[in-house]
């Protein structure tokens, strides 16, 4: 990855693009294996068209030490057996902090340090802060796409295995009065 000059980066919300742009990523249901509590419902959703659950567009700032890359994640609204659609979730291997800024829609930021779970509700304008050592997952709690900006240390890395192994403490389900939380293991 090459260094980039000082620049302005434009987010076009209706087109869903950043310019200049960096890598983009699309995560479908099939990419979320082992994350939903109801495995059969997950399998059925994969067989049933394998919908896009979220996408991530990035600026060209490289993911290397001392840089500050940014990306915008958009999670589609939906549930799988009552569990709200979400990102895979990860831990930064070298325990570095990160910030999110809510852009549109309604979401939540679930954080887990291996012992405690915290939930931060995210609406447009909310800055969510993830201290070093807190794994994080984003959840769409509304009925429209939920988008947020992430700014993170370029050397932070993404450990997805940590979440597969330790979970996130709680799961976010769609309840009659909004979000309902259940224990991660028992569901």
C-alpha angle 124-131-115 in degrees, rounded to nearest 5 = 110
CA-based radius of gyration for the chain: 16
Q: Does 152 bind ligand S6P (CB under 6 A)?
A: yes
The distance in angstroms from the start CA to the end CA of the chain is 42
Alpha carbon 134 to its chain's center? 13
Q: Does 71 bind ligand S6P (CB under 6 A)?
A: yes
Minimum Å gap between C-beta 19 and Zn ion is 23
Smaller CB separation from ligand S6P, 21 or 175: 21
Dihedral of the CA atoms 152, 114, 93, 24 (nearest 10)?
A: -50
Stretch that binds ligand S6P, among 13-21, 36-44, 86-94, 172-180 (CB under 6 A): 86-94
Q: Which of 53, 109, 111, 150 forms a contact with ligand S6P (CB under 6 A)?
A: 150
Stretch that binds ligand S6P, among 83-91, 102-110, 113-121, 164-172 (CB under 6 A): 83-91
| Stretch 95-114 residues interacting with Zn ion (CB under 5 A) | 98
CB atoms within 10 A of CB 165: 9
Secondary structure string (H, E, C) spanning 55-118? EEEECCCCCCCCCCCEEEEEECCCEECCEECECCCEECCCCCCEEEEEEECCEEEEEECCCCEE
Stretch that binds Zn ion, among 5-13, 76-84, 92-100, 104-112 (CB under 5 A): 92-100
Smaller CB separation from ligand S6P, 68 or 175: 68
Q: Which of 56, 81, 99, 182 forms a contact with ligand S6P (CB under 6 A)?
A: 56
Smaller CB separation from Zn ion, 67 or 98: 98
CA distances in angstroms from 86 to 109, 124, 155, listed in the order given: 10, 18, 24
Smaller CB separation from ligand S6P, 36 or 176: 36
* Site residues (vs ligand S6P, CB under 6 A): 56, 71, 73, 87-90, 98, 136, 138, 150, 152, 156, 158
């Amino acid at each position: 990855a090459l260094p980039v000059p000082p620049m302005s980066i434009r987010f076009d919300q209706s087109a869903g693009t950043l310019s200049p742009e960096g890598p983009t990523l699309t995560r479908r249901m099939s990419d979320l294996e082992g994350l939903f509590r109801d495995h059969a419902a997950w399998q059925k959703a994969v067989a049933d068209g394998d919908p896009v659950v979220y996408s991530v567009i990035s600026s060209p700032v490289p993911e290397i030490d001392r840089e500050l890359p940014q990306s915008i994640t958009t999670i589609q609204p939906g549930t799988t057996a009552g569990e709200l659609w979400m990102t895979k979730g990860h831990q930064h291997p070298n325990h570095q902090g990160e910030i999110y800024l809510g852009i549109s829609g309604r979401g939540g930021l679930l954080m887990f340090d291996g012992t405690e779970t915290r939930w931060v509700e995210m609406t447009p304008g909310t800055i969510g802060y993830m201290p070093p050592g807190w794994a994080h997952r984003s959840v769409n709690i509304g009925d429209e796409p939920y988008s947020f900006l992430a700014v993170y240390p370029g050397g932070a890395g993404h450990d997805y295995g940590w979440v597969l192994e330790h979970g996130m403490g709680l799961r976010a389900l769609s309840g009659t009065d909004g979000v309902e939380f259940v224990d991660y293991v028992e569901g």
